[in-house]
Chains A and B, each alone.
Chain A
Amino acid sequence: MNKIFSKFAAALGAVGLLGSTGAADAHSFSNAGEARTYLLQHPDGPRAEAAFRLIVEESLTQKYPEFTLRSLSDGSATAISPEPGTSRAAILRALSELSDATPTRRNIVGNTSNEQVY
């Protein structure tokens, strides 16, 4: 599995799917530690929100090392590492289906009908 993750990182640039729509101000802090220190003394305000955003993003990059703070800075990122027999097109279709706000009942396995999906 680690090999797959390392492939993700290598594939990021080639895939060209790194999206982003977000808040660059989170990166006015050099790291999450600096952001935490700021929050201790400045609980509220736009810069405090930027600090919190950076802390959340850094925790995501630690959990999912194929992503970087830079790749998450605009709010979304995708890493694809197809294996033999699995086409990139099929993977993209699956991602699209999974993110569809109105999925077909046939394909849904895990969510109940009275709950929203993202």
Chain B
Amino acid sequence: MAQEDTGNSSRPVKLLSGAIAAALFGLAGCVPAPSNPESAAVNKLARQGFELVSDGRTSDAPSVMRYSGSSSAVILCSTNGGAFTTASAVKSIKTQDGLTGKQTAQVDGRIIVDNEGGQSGLYVATVVREIRSSSGNLVARQIEMIEFKPGSTGRFKNGTICKART
């Protein structure tokens, strides 16, 4: 009796399990194929502001992406061994001598994305520093450039290390 009861009570559970299994098998046929890794990498760079200048997603050729603009969107930097964080594009100071200084940063990037989503190419980060006198005249300008490849870092003279945002 107890065995019969057990058997009867387990029948709905078995039916439910079968239904779930059938549903899972059915869903398996509907799962989209993994996205093209080249397309995924291209889309990710495009979201950062890169422009697609050569589209290789439907061929064996690589895709070429180009960026020129604010550093904030595409690179991260670390100062004094700290964590990599968003790189400030603008900085201003006023000195005790009455001079004012402004520093702006921009990045130019040309990135190649292969069929497997691998990236090569170059990032060039440029900092321009301008000093103005108390009367507002430009008295000095300084340019400093670093470059690095995707997956590696570049180092400014003041020790700040930068890398591509991933």
Contact = CB atoms under 8 A, between A and B. Distances in A.
Contacts of A10: none
Interface string B86-112: 111011111101010111010010101
Interface string A32-67: 000000010001100011001100110110001011
A14 interface: no
Nearest to A82: B139
A98 B145 contact: no
A76 B158 contact: no
Contact of B120 (A1, A22, A44): A44
Interface residues of A, number: 56
Contacts of B152: none
Interface residues of B, number: 59
B133 interface: yes
A52 B122 contact: yes
A7 to B, nearest CB: 10
Given A98-B91, A115-B88, 18 more contacts: A57-B145, A59-B108, A77-B142, A81-B138, A82-B139, A90-B99, A91-B99, A94-B99, A98-B102, A99-B157, A108-B93, A109-B93, A111-B91, A115-B72, A116-B160, A117-B88, A117-B160, A118-B91
Interface of A: 1, 4-5, 8, 22-23, 39, 43-44, 48-49, 52-53, 56-57, 59-60, 64, 66-67, 72, 75-83, 85-87, 90-91, 93-95, 97-103, 107-112, 114-118
Interface of B: 54, 62, 64, 72, 76-80, 82, 84-88, 90-95, 97, 99, 101-103, 105, 108, 110, 112, 120-122, 124-129, 131, 133-135, 137-147, 156-160
Nearest to B88: A115
B120 A111 contact: no
Contacts of A4: 137-139
A97 B95 CA distance: 8
B115 to A, nearest CB: 13
19 contacts: A1-B137, A4-B137, A4-B139, A22-B147, A44-B120, A44-B121, A49-B121, A64-B143, A81-B140, A87-B97, A93-B97, A97-B101, A98-B91, A101-B80, A101-B159, A116-B78, A116-B82, A116-B87, A117-B103
